[in-house]
């Protein structure tokens, strides 16, 4: 029998508390396999097969978390061995489906929070060119204007974008504005 749970855990101490608590609660289980990811953007990750054959539990669980973009949590799949050997393929399938199911339940229950890692940029131009930053952002659907303000002879556009667009936006803005720069927060 398998039971998979997801718990918020932003660092090693929180992960240790979750695992200690689950091992105490489910002391009669054969395995407490886990996978975790930390940070936005992800700065650390890890797995533990807890006695299962290497690569049959933690790695498949981590692959599901990666595919879902889940972070700052630990997935723990608790197994009570019932006497039936599943083989490596069966174990991979069971641990994968356990985490997939737990993520689906979390999403259906509304306990899933989407967090996007964004950079904030600012473009300053002369009032007569206030349309240019908007034209630039229009070419990048993942970038979004936050606000526009005016200081004397300047129009200032603040916007957000995913970090992977920073260099593309800078290059496009330099070309469009003939040498202009983007200020990043």
From residue 167, alpha-carbon distances to 31, 41, 133, 179, 184 in Å are: 45, 17, 16, 14, 11
The number of folded domains in the chain is: 2
pLDDT digits (tens, 9 = 90+) for 85-110: 888 999 999 999 999 999 999 988 88
Average pLDDT over every residue of 107-114: 81
Q: Is there a contact between 129 and 108 (Cβ–Cβ < 8 Å)?
A: no
Write the CATH number for 174. 3.30.70
Average pLDDT over every residue of 152-164: 92
Write the CATH number for 19. 3.30.230.30
DSSP code of 11?
S
Are residues 131 and 97 part of one domain? no
Instruction: Answer yes or no: is 113 within a domain.
Output: no
Q: What is the mean pLDDT of the chain?
A: 92
SS3 letters across 99-140: HHHHHHHHHHCCCCCCCCCCEEEEEEEEHHHCHHHHHHHHCC
Instruction: Answer yes or no: is 61 within a domain.
Output: yes
Quote the pTM value. Answer: 0.67
pLDDT at 41: 76
- Please tell me the distance from the alpha carbon of residue 48 to that of residue 60, in angstroms, as a whole number: 11
Are residues 70 and 24 part of one domain? yes
- Please tell me the distance from the alpha carbon of residue 5 to that of residue 145, in angstroms, as a whole number: 38
pLDDT at 163: 86
Instruction: Answer yes or no: is 46 within a domain.
Output: yes
- Per-residue confidence band for 115, with pLDDT thresholds at 50, 70 and 90: low
Q: Is there a contact between 151 and 163 (Cβ–Cβ < 8 Å)?
A: no
- Please tell me the distance from the alpha carbon of residue 21 to that of residue 26, in angstroms, as a whole number: 8
Provide the 10 A C-beta neighbour count for residue 153.
Answer: 9
Instruction: Answer yes or no: is 114 within a domain.
Output: no
Residue 26 belongs to what domain range? 2-108
């Amino acid at each position: 029998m398998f039971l998979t749970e997801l718990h918020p855990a932003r660092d090693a101490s929180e992960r240790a508390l979750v695992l200690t608590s689950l091992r105490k609660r489910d002391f009669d289980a054969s395995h407490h396999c886990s996978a975790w990811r930390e940070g936005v953007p992800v700065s650390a990750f890890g797995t533990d097969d807890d006695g299962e054959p290497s690569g049959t539990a933690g790695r498949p669980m981590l692959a599901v978390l990666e595919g879902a973009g889940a972070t700052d949590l630990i997935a723990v799949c608790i197994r009570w061995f019932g006497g039936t050997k599943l083989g490596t393929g069966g174990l991979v399938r069971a641990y994968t489906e356990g985490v997939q199911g737990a993520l689906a339940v979390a999403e259906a229950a509304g306990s899933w929070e989407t967090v996007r890692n964004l950079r904030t940029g600012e473009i300053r131009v002369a009032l007569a060119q206030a349309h240019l930053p908007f034209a630039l952002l229009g070419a990048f659907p993942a970038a979004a204007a936050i606000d526009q303000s005016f200081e004397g002879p300047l129009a200032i556009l603040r916007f957000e974008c995913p970090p992977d667009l920073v260099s593309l936006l800078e290059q496009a803005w330099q070309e469009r504005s003939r040498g202009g720069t983007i200020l990043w927060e």
